[in-house]
């Protein structure tokens, strides 16, 4: 279903994908050679060009039909899986309501996300027209990243819930929170790199939610003495705790540590585990080679902790 | 099912490995944000488009490379070509009229002997099987014994007629048979689809599945069950009366 939801996003962004600076070769744009909307009604561009535009328009229609057909097929398959494939207890104990609810939540989150993105764009364009600073930039962008992360949390919680049928709600809650923050961090890092592909004016018109990332990337690149360009890895230097990817990395590490300890009932995180987690949390602010070394150190520390605890304990991992 | 119990089912004999994998997985979950961050910091935007494709290629490269290496001996065969499978109650049944293999690769543990057999019982089983093979008209140089078990003690005091015919710690199905045993007409005989059967599949040979008379331990039992589920992909069942080469052999002159 999530692939279907991404497909809707691609269809919605198809016009932005064609714009100069924000170009992206993804479906359905990758199918259509020319932008059919480039030519206005009644405009004369020559017979051969007219034919090209007609072909592009027909190809775009085909692509949209294919996209919506695929989307409907996914819905039917999802309904069949919830109704027919899941264990019979789900049907008798109203477990199916949960699963149908999960399917609906995908689109609730998607609708909220698209609304937040739209708001970002509208406010950014308005601020740019009035030649003033966009005051709610951080709040709007933060809302977009948080909403994007919720999808990851939802998928992780459903996956863990189906796999560990007896998992308690605390485990699922922590998993959902950890995965949501991890998803937000992942998307924040992707958008940080994406924000280097165009200048601010182009970003304002197409992807206003990337403007805050562009500010943070500019600052990080300045600290690392690098220029901001699409072929430059600008994030290798010291990182500010206020950079969106950095604080989401800190929160995600903390939340996933809580989730992992939840999987080992009766294990009290000793000094070794706490120090290793602290190393991982702090590592994100350092330049790249130090971050990597600290990550390896934290990972090794946690490995030793969990292995030793399992050897000492008689009933080890019981999620 | 928890991670630990799933791993413990897969690797029943090594609880230490299970403990280590569980510990490493738990540590990896906590460290994942930092590993991902480090991987993004070495990238620029131009590395990003197609990131999913690159990741997919990386993930599929390993299995693809393994498959290419594994299926290399099947040079002239299609990936969909299935080898013949016959089921026998006893190992000696492989010599029954209509089968007549040209050469034989015989498994020891679970086929001729019980699991973790004493050395004497292995020698005795080989002796008996050699006698049956000779009586059936098969030259003993065409009967090799291939086992994944570490029976190196067997090689130490091996009788002269057995030297070069026993392959211990053979790592089936990756074992490479000697040249003469890679030809059609060779039958691989064993009790496991995933070791003996896949060895036969790699070289396009016939597979003779022997029903193990002894009760299998948990791991071989699991292997057998998985193999049985996958067997239609690799093997096509044959009636036992059908000859090895697919065409009727001339009756021996009286």
Each residue of B75-132: pLDDT tens digit?
Answer: 677 778 889 999 998 898 888 877 778 999 999 988 998 888 888 889 899 999 999 9
Contact between residue B103 and residue B185 where contact means Cβ atoms under 8 Å apart: yes
Percentage of the residues of chain A whose pLDDT score is greater than 90: 22
Name the residue facing A235 among B3, B4, B41 (closest C-beta): B41
Asked if the structure places residue A136 within a domain, the reply is no
Statement: residue A46 has pLDDT above 80:
no
Q: Is B254 helix (H, G, I), strand (E, B) or coil?
A: coil
For residue range A270-316, what is the model confidence (pLDDT) as tens digits? Answer: 788 899 999 999 999 999 889 999 999 999 999 998 888 776 664 44
Q: Does A113 touch chain B (CB under 8 A)?
A: no
The pLDDT confidence band at residue B51, using thresholds 50, 70 and 90, is low
Determine the distance in angstroms separating the CA of A220 from the nearest CA of chain B, rounded to an integer.
11
Task: Please report the pLDDT score of residue A31 as a whole number.
Answer: 60
Q: At which residue do the structure tokens 């393994």 appear?
A: B66
User: Shortest Cα distance from A190 to chain B (angstroms)?
Assistant: 8
Residue ranges covered by each domain of chain B: 3-70, 83-237
Residue B147 host element (H or E):
none
Specify whether the CB–CB gap between A158 and A102 falls below 8 A.
yes
Checking if the pLDDT of A252 tops 50, the result is yes
In angstroms, the CA A43 to CA B67 distance is 57
Which of A156-170, A242-256, B109-123 is predicted with the least confidence, judged by mean pLDDT? A156-170
Confidence of residue B249 (pLDDT cuts 50, 70, 90): very low
Does residue A56 belong to the interface with chain B, where contact is any CB pair within 8 Å?
no
Q: Assess if residue A61 is contained within a domain.
A: yes
Q: What local confidence, expressed as pLDDT, does residue A103 receive?
A: 84
The predicted model scores a pTM of 0.61
Q: What tokens does A55 get?
A: 């072909």
User: B79, exposed or middle or buried, with CB in 10 Å at 0-12, 13-18, 19+?
Assistant: exposed
Average pLDDT, chain A: 81
How high is the pLDDT of residue B252? Answer: 40
* Structural domain contains residue A185: no
Overall average pLDDT of the A170-188 stretch: 91
pLDDT at B54 over 80: no
Chain B CB contacts of A189 below 8 Å:
36-37, 40
* pLDDT given for residue A319 in this prediction: 43
- How many CB atoms within 10 Å of residue A267? 20
pLDDT digits (tens, 9 = 90+) for B18-27: 888 888 888 9
DSSP for A227-286, please give it: ---TTS-TTSS---TTSHHHHHHHHHHHHHHHHHHHHSTT----HHHHHHHHHHHHHTTS
Q: Provide mean pLDDT across the span A160-164.
A: 73
Domain end: A31, A63, A85, which one? A85
Total domains, chain A = 2
pLDDT top residue among B211 and A14: B211
Considering CB atoms only, which of A252, A288, A318 is closest to B42? A288
d(CA A269, CA A53): 65
Q: Which of A167, A236, A278, A307 to mutate to test the interface with B (most CBs of B within 10 A)?
A: A307
Is ipTM over 0.90? no
- Does residue A26 belong to any structural domain of this protein? yes
Q: Which residues pair with B235 in a beta bridge?
A: B83
Q: From the centroid of its chain, how far is CA B213?
A: 19
pLDDT on residue A276: 92
Q: Quick one: pLDDT at residue B62?
A: 79
User: Could you tell me if A152 lies within 8 Å of chain B, comparing CB atoms?
Assistant: no
Phi, psi of B13 (to 5 degrees): -90, -5
Dist CA A182 CA A249 (whole Å) = 7
Domain containing A11 equals 1-85
Contact flag B3-A317 (C-beta cutoff 8 Å): yes
Q: Which residues of A touch B36 (CB under 8 A)?
A: 182, 185-186, 189
- The model's confidence at residue B4, banded by pLDDT at 50, 70 and 90, is low
Element (H, E) at A142: helix A137-163
> Which is higher by pLDDT, B159 or A283?
A283
Q: Is the dihedral of CA B237, B242, B244, B247 positive or negative?
A: negative
- The architecture (CATH level 2) of B83-237 comes to 3-Layer(aba) Sandwich (3.40)
Single residue among A32, A60, A85 that ends a domain in this structure: A85
The pLDDT-based confidence of B209 (bands split at 50, 70, 90) is very high
Average pLDDT over every residue of B37-43 = 89
pLDDT band at A38 (very low <50, low <70, confident <90, very high): low
Distance between B46 CA and the closest CA of chain A, angstroms: 6
What are the tens digits of pLDDT across the range B217-238?
888 888 898 899 889 989 998 8
**A311 contacts chain B (CB < 8 A):** yes
Lowest model confidence (mean pLDDT) among A21-25, A52-56, A273-277, B198-202? A21-25
Q: pLDDT value at position A192?
A: 92
Integer Cα distance of A140 and A209 in angstroms: 8
The answer to whether position A161 is within a domain reads no
What pLDDT is recorded for position B253?
A: 43
- Boundary (domain end) residue, out of A53, A85, A117: A85
Task: Report chain A residues whose CB lies below 8 A from the CB of B14.
Answer: none
Mutate to test the interface with B, among A302, A304, A315, A319 (most CBs of B within 10 A): A302
Query: In the structure, what pLDDT confidence band is assigned to residue A99 with cuts at 50, 70 and 90?
Result: confident
Contacts of A187 in chain B (CB under 8 A): none
Residue A35 pLDDT class (50, 70, 90 cuts): low
């Amino acid at each position: 279903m999530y692939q279907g939801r991404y497909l809707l996003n691609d269809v919605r962004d198809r016009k932005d994908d064609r714009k100069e600076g924000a170009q992206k070769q993804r479906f359905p744009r990758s199918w259509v050679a020319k932008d059919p909307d480039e030519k206005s009604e009644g405009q004369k561009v020559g017979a051969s060009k007219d034919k090209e535009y007609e072909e592009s328009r027909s190809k775009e229609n085909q692509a949209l039909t294919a996209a919506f057909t695929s989307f409907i097929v996914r819905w039917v398959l999802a309904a069949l899986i919830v109704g027919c494939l899941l264990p019979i207890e789900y049907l008798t104990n109203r477990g199916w309501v949960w699963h149908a609810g999960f399917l609906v939540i995908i689109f609730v989150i998607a609708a909220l996300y698209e609304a937040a993105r739209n708001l970002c764009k509208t406010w950014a364009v308005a601020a740019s027209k009035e030649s003033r600073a966009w005051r709610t930039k951080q709040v709007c962008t933060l809302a977009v990243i948080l909403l994007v992360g919720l999808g990851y949390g939802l998928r992780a919680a459903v996956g863990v819930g189906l796999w560990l049928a007896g998992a308690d709600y605390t485990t699922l809650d922590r998993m959902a929170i950890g995965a949501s923050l991890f998803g937000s961090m992942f998307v924040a890092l992707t958008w940080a790199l994406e924000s280097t592909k165009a200048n601010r004016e182009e970003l304002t018109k197409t992807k206003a939610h990337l403007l805050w990332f562009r500010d943070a990337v500019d600052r990080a690149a300045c600290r690392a003495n690098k220029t901001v360009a699409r072929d430059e890895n600008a994030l290798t230097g010291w990182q500010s705790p206020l950079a969106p990817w950095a604080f989401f990395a800190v929160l995600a590490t903390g939340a996933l540590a809580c989730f992992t300890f939840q999987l080992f009932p009766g294990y009290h995180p000793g000094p070794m585990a706490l120090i290793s987690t602290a190393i991982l949390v702090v590592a994100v602010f350092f330049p790249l080679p130090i971050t990597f070394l600290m990550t390896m150190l934290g990972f090794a520390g946690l490995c030793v902790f969990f292995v030793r605890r399992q050897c000492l304990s008689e009933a080890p991992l019981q999620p | 099912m928890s991670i630990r119990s799933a791993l413990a089912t897969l690797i029943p004999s090594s609880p230490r490995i299970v403990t280590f994998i569980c510990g490493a997985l738990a540590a990896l979950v906590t460290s994942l944000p930092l590993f991902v961050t480090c991987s993004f910091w070495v990238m620029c935007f131009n590395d990003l488009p197609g990131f999913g494709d690159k990741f997919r290629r990386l993930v599929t490269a390993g299995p693809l490379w393994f498959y290419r290496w594994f299926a290399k001996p099947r040079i002239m065969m299609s990936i969909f070509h299935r080898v013949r499978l016959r089921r026998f109650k006893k190992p000696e049944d492989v010599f029954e009229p209509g089968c007549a293999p040209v050469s034989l690769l015989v498994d020891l543990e679970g086929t001729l002997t019980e699991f973790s057999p004493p050395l004497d019982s292995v020698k005795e089983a080989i002796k008996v099987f050699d006698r049956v093979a000779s009586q059936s008209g098969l030259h003993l140089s065409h009967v090799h014994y291939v086992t994944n078990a570490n029976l190196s003690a067997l090689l130490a005091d091996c009788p002269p007629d057995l030297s070069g015919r026993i392959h211990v710690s053979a790592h089936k199905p990756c074992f490479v048979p000697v040249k003469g045993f890679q030809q059609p007409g060779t039958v691989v005989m064993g009790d496991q689809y995933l070791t003996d059967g896949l060895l036969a599949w790699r070289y396009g040979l016939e597979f003779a599945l022997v029903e193990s008379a002894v009760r299998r331990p948990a791991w071989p039992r699991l292997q057998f069950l998985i193999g049985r589920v996958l067997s239609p992909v690799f093997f096509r069942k044959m009636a036992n009366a059908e000859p090895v080469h697919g065409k009727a052999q001339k009756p021996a002159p009286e």
